[in-house]
């Protein structure tokens, strides 16, 4: 796979295509980063952007993971001490998950975000940004109805981190896109380059196929899950036997989260996927590409129960090293 394909595969959006093409022409030594509010244990949302970081490392990029302790504090996630402690645990899990240790730099936000220069640059961005704009940028990141002043400062710090970390591509889920667009608009006002960004898709809630999978509500998968937990969550997942939209037909669009997890989590990390079936049901099926599995599920050749059995197996393989790490 060439660099451009590694960078863009499974991305929901890149901003801009021209900038990405220029990076793909000469990726060696370029730097990509993702920031995470530390939560201690990796869940499937972290794993989705981590897959993209692994792609980027394979394409020749160096990677920075920002453990955004100050951001988590501003977003009301606990005391600063607690957050610092959970940040420590995440580093080892990212490595267990498969990030290349020799080329991943982990940075704590508080290592540079409390410096004098940073603080003055932040105030300069505050002067350039309306509260309404900051609030809109946070709509899909903070859950409360009313945005606190701390949560309006949050996206400005996220924007400012990009030049401070010296990165060439900012990676995040689609819920981060408005922060990145804000960064593109306001950074030039303080003589900083607007960042190139790449956004990964949002995956639907495993149980219902509606909305987006999140750690705070609905069903998610985390590195703490046992094999049995994974089997039972995947077994209960929404997975209609055909592309038929919605059996309940209440007009709310649903995605098939089982297919999404195959597409965004399993196929990028395994060369091929084997679905085990007893001989009497046709024997094992082997897929080299996601599209073939999707087509078989939609035609009825592959039964949802068999697809789920394989999904639990491969998710378990992805999670096992992190689970082991947590147990140490
Ligand atoms: C991501 C987050 C926090 C700070 C960042 C700074 C620079 C780049 C990315 C960053 C976390 C993210 C979240 N906003 O919702 O988890």
Mean pLDDT of 24-52: 95
Query: Does 213 fall in a domain?
Result: no
Are residues 255 and 191 part of one domain? no
User: Where do we find the tokens 């590409």?
Assistant: 289
Owning domain of residue 265:
227-327
Mean pLDDT of all residues in the chain?
93
- pTM of the predicted structure, to 2 decimals: 0.94
Are residues 233 and 177 part of one domain? no
Q: How many CA atoms lie within 13 A of 240 on its CB side?
A: 16
Query: Does 211 fall in a domain?
Result: no
Alpha helices, H only, 30-115: 44-58, 69-74, 80-97
Do the interacting molecules here have an ipTM over 0.95? no
Binding residues, by number, are 33, 154, 158, 161, 176, 215
Which CATH number covers residue 140?
3.40.50.620
> How many domains is the chain partitioned into structurally?
2
Binding residues for L-tyrosine, by number, are 33, 154, 158, 161, 176
User: Taking 90 as the threshold, does the pLDDT of residue 211 lie above it?
Assistant: no
Are residues 243 and 182 part of one domain? no
Which pLDDT belongs to residue 219? Answer: 83
Are residues 246 and 182 part of one domain? no
Cα angle 215, 175, 125 (rounded to 5 degrees) comes to 120
Mean pLDDT of 5-34: 97
Which CATH number covers residue 322?
1.10.240.10
Are residues 184 and 115 part of one domain? yes
Residue predicted with more confidence, 74 or 328:
74
User: Taking 90 as the threshold, does the pLDDT of residue 244 lie above it?
Assistant: no
Give the least confident one: 67-71, 116-120, 211-215, 296-300: 211-215
CA of 132 to the centre of ligand 1 (A): 19
Give the least confident one: 5-19, 142-156, 162-176, 207-221: 207-221
CA of 65 to the centre of ligand 1 (A): 10
Cα angle 80, 85, 90 (rounded to 5 degrees) comes to 120
Q: What is the pLDDT of residues 129-157, one digit of tens each?
A: 999 999 999 999 987 778 899 999 999 99
Are residues 185 and 266 part of one domain? no
Are residues 114 and 19 part of one domain? yes
Query: Does 45 fall in a domain?
Result: yes
Are residues 312 and 189 part of one domain? no
């Amino acid at each position: 796979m060439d660099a451009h394909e590694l960078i863009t595969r499974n991305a929901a959006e890149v901003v801009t295509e021209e900038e990405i093409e220029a990076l793909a022409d000469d990726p060696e030594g370029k730097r990509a980063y993702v920031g995470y509010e530390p939560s201690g244990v990796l869940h499937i949302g972290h794993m989705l952007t981590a897959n993209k970081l692994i792609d980027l490392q394979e394409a020749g990029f160096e990677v920075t993971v920002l453990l955004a302790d100050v951001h988590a504090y501003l977003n009301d996630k606990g005391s600063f001490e607690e957050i610092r402690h959970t940040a420590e645990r995440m580093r080892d899990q990212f490595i267990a998950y498969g990030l290349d240790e020799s080329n991943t730099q982990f940075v704590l936000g508080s290592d540079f975000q409390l410096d004098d220069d940073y603080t003055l640059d932040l105030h300069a961005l505050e002067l350039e940004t309306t509260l309404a704009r900051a609030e809109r940028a946070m709509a899909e990141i903070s859950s409360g109805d009313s945005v606190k002043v701390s949560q309006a400062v949050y996206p400005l710090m996220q924007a400012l981190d990009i030049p401070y970390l010296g990165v060439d591509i900012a990676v995040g889920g689609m819920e981060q896109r408005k922060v990145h667009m804000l960064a593109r608009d306001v950074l030039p006002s303080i003589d900083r380059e607007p960042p190139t960004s790449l956004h990964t898709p949002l995956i639907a809630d495993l149980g219902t196929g509606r909305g987006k999978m999140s750690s705070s509500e609905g069903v998610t998968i985390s590195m703490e899950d046992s094999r049995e937990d994974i089997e039972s969550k995947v077994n209960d997942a929404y997975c209609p036997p055909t592309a038929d939209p919605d059996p309940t037909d209440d007009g709310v669009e649903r995605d098939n989260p089982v297919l999404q997890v195959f597409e965004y989590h399993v196929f990028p990390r395994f060369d091929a996927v084997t679905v085990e079936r007893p001989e009497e049901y046709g024997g094992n099926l082997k897929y080299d590409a996601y599209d073939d599995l999707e087509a078989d599920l939609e035609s009825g050749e592959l039964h949802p129960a068999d697809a789920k059995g394989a999904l639990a197996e491969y998710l378990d393989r992805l999670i096992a090293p992190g689970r082991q790490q947590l147990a140490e």
